[in-house]
């Protein structure tokens, strides 16, 4: 079995009525939530399912479009409605395609939103079948004006995530800063910042020893900079990257787009901490790598071409995802 642990329903998020609702909301016109037909939901997934089939990906963990989460905008109440709309669409898409998708939610984070309210969203959507949640370690649109996300102000979120056994995916969102395009910089800054803050936050992982974080995009800079972080961790008495990986608190995915970086990922990070991900039809749809004549985001080929044994590939392709996301089992056909 092959599980893509990192996918976004981008085309669904781009439905004109969904985008129109958010634009109206942010303009102060709080319209009724749009009623998207099952036919439109199904149509938005045709391309994704076709790509999954061509790459022999059985199941994908799907969440709302990351850029469109953008919960630095609006108000806490508006963002709760926005998150509910997106999550309800994800849930419907998963139910319409049994055995193919597993729902991962977004949260109505906002700099002024009490984290207890975000924790209640985790409880509500987990009860409806969600298995994990994207959690933006910034939440201020690239301004990075909040306190580190690992602080006690977010403890209600961590209490809920640990109690319900749902991982938090540290995924960036929209950037208001034109120096930091969202997919090229802001997401990776979120990955790097998430990794380093977890190394710095000894209290957090002591207080929540079973909390699990997923750092997307190959762990950000982890494959290239793990040596630097080992050094600084020793220098500053932080937890080392090896410690937070080894303790089972931090995991990464394989969303890196060439052979060399995939090999570096397998070298830097223990295999039990690596989950297959490809953002199938998400980040850069249809863009072809001239060397492979295939889509850059067909990360399957880089894993397939690696020197991992068949048993190790199985860990990366499926077993790790099933272990790290225990609630996914109800969505996956045996
Ligand atoms: Zn993503």
| Mean predicted lDDT score pLDDT of the chain | 95
pLDDT band at 156 (very low <50, low <70, confident <90, very high): very high
Distance 280 CA to ligand 1 centre (A): 10
Distance 202 CA to ligand 1 centre (A): 27
Segment holding 6, helix H or strand E: strand 3-8
What Å distances lie between residue 51 and 11, 95, 169, 227, 280, CA to CA? 14, 19, 24, 36, 7
Q: Which residues contact 23 (CB under 8 A, 6 or more apart)?
A: none
pTM for this predicted structure: 0.96
What Å distances lie between residue 287 and 141, 217, 257, 296, CA to CA? 26, 17, 11, 6
Check residue 333 and give its pLDDT: 86
- Other CB atoms within a 10 A radius of the CB of residue 179 amount to 8
Segment holding 4, helix H or strand E: strand 3-8
Check residue 202 and give its pLDDT: 86
Distance 62 CA to ligand 1 centre (A): 9
Q: Are 54 and 6 in contact (CB under 8 A)?
A: no
Segment holding 195, helix H or strand E: helix 187-200
Distance 169 CA to ligand 1 centre (A): 9
- Other CB atoms within a 10 A radius of the CB of residue 261 amount to 16
Check residue 282 and give its pLDDT: 73
Distance 256 CA to ligand 1 centre (A): 12
Check residue 30 and give its pLDDT: 83
Total residues found in the chain within this entry: 334
What Å distances lie between residue 174 and 66, 67, 235, 307, CA to CA? 7, 5, 34, 36
List pLDDT tens digits, range 220-270: 999 999 999 999 999 999 999 999 999 999 999 999 999 999 999 999 999
- Euclidean distance between CA atoms 182 and 172, whole angstroms: 8
Report the candidate in 309, 306, 333, 311 with the shortest Cα–Cα distance to residue 322.
333
Positions annotated as catalytic residues are: 279
Check residue 293 and give its pLDDT: 92
- Euclidean distance between CA atoms 320 and 247, whole angstroms: 15
Give the three-state DSSP class for 240.
coil
Q: Residue 285 pLDDT > 90, yes or no?
A: no
Answer with the residue of higher pLDDT: 155 or 297: 155
- Euclidean distance between CA atoms 194 and 191, whole angstroms: 5
Distance 12 CA to ligand 1 centre (A): 15
Percent of the chain with pLDDT over 90: 93
List pLDDT tens digits, range 46-102: 999 999 999 999 999 999 999 989 999 999 999 999 999 999 999 999 999 999 999
Phi, psi of 286 (to 5 degrees): 80, 0
- Euclidean distance between CA atoms 134 and 105, whole angstroms: 6
List pLDDT tens digits, range 190-202: 999 999 999 999 8
List pLDDT tens digits, range 288-332: 989 889 999 999 999 999 999 999 999 999 999 999 999 999 999
Report the candidate in 105, 81, 107, 85 with the shortest Cα–Cα distance to residue 41.
85
B/e letters for 13-47, b = 16+ CB within 10 Å, e = fewer, are: bebeebeebbeebeeeeeeeebebeeebbeebbee
Report the candidate in 31, 111, 103 with the shortest Cα–Cα distance to residue 70.
111
Report residue 186 as tokens: 């802001």
- Euclidean distance between CA atoms 236 and 163, whole angstroms: 31
Give the three-state DSSP class for 155.
helix
Report residue 182 as tokens: 């969202």
Distance 167 CA to ligand 1 centre (A): 15
Check residue 31 and give its pLDDT: 87
């Amino acid at each position: 079995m092959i599980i893509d642990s990192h996918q976004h329903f981008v085309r669904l998020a781009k439905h004109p009525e969904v985008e129109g609702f958010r634009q109206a909301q942010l303009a102060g016109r709080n319209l009724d939530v749009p009623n998207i037909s099952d036919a439109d939901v199904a149509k938005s997934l045709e391309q994704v399912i076709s790509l999954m089939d061509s790459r022999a990906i059985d199941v994908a963990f799907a969440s709302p479009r990351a850029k469109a989460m953008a919960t630095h905008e609006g108000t806490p109440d508006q963002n709760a409605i926005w998150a509910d709309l997106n999550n309800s669409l994800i849930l419907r898409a998963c139910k319409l395609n049994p055995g193919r998708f597993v729902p991962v939610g977004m949260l109505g984070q906002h700099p002024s939103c009490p984290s207890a309210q975000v924790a209640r969203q985790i409880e509500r959507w987990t009860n409806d079948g969600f298995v994990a949640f994207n959690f933006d370690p910034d939440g201020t649109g690239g301004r990075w004006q909040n306190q580190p996300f690992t602080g006690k102000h977010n403890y209600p979120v961590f209490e809920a995530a640990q109690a319900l056994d749902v991982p938090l995916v540290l995924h960036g969102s929209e950037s208001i800063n034109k120096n930091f395009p969202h997919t090229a910089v802001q997401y990776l800054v979120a990955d790097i910042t998430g990794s380093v803050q977890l190394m710095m936050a000894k209290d957090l992982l002591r207080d929540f020893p079973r909390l699990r974080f997923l750092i997307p995009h190959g762990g950000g800079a982890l494959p290239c900079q793990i040596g630097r972080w080992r050094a600084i961790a020793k220098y500053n008495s932080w937890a080392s990257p090896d410690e937070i990986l080894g303790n089972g608190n931090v995991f990464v995915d394989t969303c890196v787009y060439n052979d060399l970086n995939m090999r570096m990922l397998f070298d830097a990070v223990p295999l039990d901490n690596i989950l297959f991900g490809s953002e199938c039809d998400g980040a850069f749809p249809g863009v072809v790598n001239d060397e492979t004549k295939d889509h850059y985001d067909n990360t399957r080929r880089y894993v397939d071409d690696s020197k991992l044994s068949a048993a190790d590939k199985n860990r990366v392709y499926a077993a790790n995802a099933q272990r790290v996301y225990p609630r996914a089992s109800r969505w996956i056909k045996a």
